[in-house]
Structure 1
Amino acid sequence: MQDAFASRLRGRESLVGAWCTVGHPVVAEVLAAEPVDFVVLDGEHSENDLGDLADCVRAVDAANHRAREREGADATQTATVVRASGPDRAEIKRLLDLGPDGVLVPQVESLADAEAAAQASQYPPEGVRGVAGGRAADYGRTLGDYYERANDDVATFVQVETTGALDDADAIADLDGVDALFVGPADLSARLGAFAEFDDAAFADAVADVVAAAHGADEPIAVGTLATSTANAPERKHDWGMDYVVGGVDVAHLREGLGGYLDALDGGAD
């Protein structure tokens, strides 16, 4: 399943994800049981610690196991992508030892930061990821096999949400070990002085530059973003030229779902 996700991402398939900020495994399991290609487990803008993220990785695996029990070997499997808090080598190592299918690295300010993230995500000789028998290697039982295939099987996403990363986007997209770019719309618009003004010309030009960098790399890579509503999802997918889109955030789904009931009941009272 890991190899399938990384291969699909590198092939720039049209993928759809879901975003999980609530660190309870029930939330991750419910999201993963829907027909999404991957779930992003957030270790940056959330209250989640390493243990919370580990539980949520296990919860996604549980949803996949249930799907196989119901539907057999051809059941749709949902990948896990864990977002780090930044391009920190030690943190990325610990997250990857949990056994996710990918890592998303935010707060990249430069080519040097992106290179550090890519290096931290890969075992030697390609990178500097530390080797240990964690959950990813079945607690040491399959360490040799995991070591041999991890650099190919685990995907590394780099967020482009700062002016520094934007300036270096072409070079970042060409880095060995970077499999995809991710446009962080809130931070990027804020850094450009146009927070949440997604029709702003400078923001639109920046998004177009990131897409061009990804697709114009020596070996073109995928680029994606977050859709914050069903209304803007088609625009961000098609007009922005994205290969993959994350369809909303768990807390927003809760808020909007309850809001719909409140609106319906208020209308009924009238």
Structure 2
Amino acid sequence: MFNAVVKRKLEAGGTVFGSFVKLDAPAIIELFGLAGFDFAIIDAEHGCHTHAGIENLIRTCELMGMSSVIRTPDAGEANILHVLDSGASGIQVPSLRSAAEVREVIRKAKYWPIGERGSARACRAAAYGTVPDYEQVANRDTLVSVHVENKEMVEDIHALCEVEELDVLFIGPGDLSASLGHPGNAAHPDVVAAIDRVIQVAAGRKHIGTVVANPAQLESYVARGVHYIAWLSELGMLRAALNHAASNFKAYRGEAK
């Protein structure tokens, strides 16, 4: 029952646009769909989500024609299995440190003969057992993205590009800056150099993703071949919109705008 909209667009050379979703609120997904986003990254690492809640957000993505990518809490087999059985379009796995760990993610996310994902045809993703060739469909269409958010992953970038069935290398500038000893300073030359290295090595070999916060970042990254774009999170956008609205009250409270 899952869709492969984002994976197909990337394979065709397109650029796809999404956002992190931290709230367990289907209406937020509907708003993203109405605004024209391609996918939502449902954040089970930092957001407040249950298995049942994630499944409902996946349903909402499908209704809006969007892909649902779940940022799992970690690379645990149960976490990967739950979201894929629920019908997620893909997974985005954080906190990895080597190509060897990424291969383990592939093993958990793909069925035989590629991997060893546990089979349960009565799951929602297989339309509760009504898709006879579901394992082959899932192997073909499930998107696998991993975070490149520490110096170890940057150092292993050539090996990462050799991992079969890995679709997206997602650069996390915030965590990467901390790993390189410059927490919160994504503009530090060491962090910029690490990001440049990932893009230079991976371009044309893997799809590359990252998070952006403004039009200048978006333009720069897309021009360099980054085509899987997360525009902030719904909380970041909501906070900015509320702050903008509240700024209109300041004159009536004796405050400067």
TM-score scaled by length of structure 2: 0.91
Deviations 1:92-131 (A, max 9, x none): 1111011111111111111111111111111101111111
Which of residues 198, 208, 211 in structure 2 aligns to 1:223?
Answer: 208
C-alpha separation in 2, matches of 1:167 and 1:61: 37
Instruction: Report if aligned partners of 1:9, 1:179 keep a CA contact under 8 Å in 2.
Output: no
Displacement after TM superposition at 1:237 (Å): 3.7
Query: Does residue 243 in structure 1 map to residue 227 in structure 2?
Result: yes
Displacement after TM superposition at 1:246 (Å): 0.7
C-alpha separation in 1, matches of 2:91 and 2:126: 16
Deviations 1:6-65 (A, max 9, x none): 222234421111221101222222222221111111110111121221111112223x2x
Matched letter for residue 243 of structure 2:
G
Matched letter for residue 151 of structure 1:
N
Displacement after TM superposition at 1:244 (Å): 2.2
C-alpha separation in 2, matches of 1:254 and 1:230: 18
Q: Secondary structure at the match of 2:42?
A: strand
Q: Secondary structure at the match of 2:135?
A: helix
C-alpha separation in 1, matches of 2:201 and 2:43: 25
1:187-206 superposed matches below 5 A: 187-206=175-194
Displacement after TM superposition at 1:232 (Å): 3.8
Question: Bigger CA drift: 9-18 or 180-189?
Answer: 9-18
Instruction: Report if aligned partners of 1:211, 1:223 keep a CA contact under 8 Å in 2.
Output: yes
Consecutive unaligned residues in structure 1, runs of 5 or more: 65-76
Count of equivalent residues: 252
Consecutive unaligned residues in structure 2, runs of 5 or more: none
Q: Identical aligned pairs, as a percentage?
A: 26
Query: Does residue 135 in structure 1 map to residue 139 in structure 2?
Result: no
TM-score scaled by length of structure 1: 0.87
Instruction: Report if aligned partners of 1:29, 1:56 keep a CA contact under 8 Å in 2.
Output: no
Instruction: Report if aligned partners of 1:119, 1:177 keep a CA contact under 8 Å in 2.
Output: no
Partner of 1:57: 58
Question: Bigger CA drift: 153-162 or 30-39?
Answer: 30-39
Cα root mean square deviation, aligned:
1.9
Instruction: Report if aligned partners of 1:10, 1:179 keep a CA contact under 8 Å in 2.
Output: no
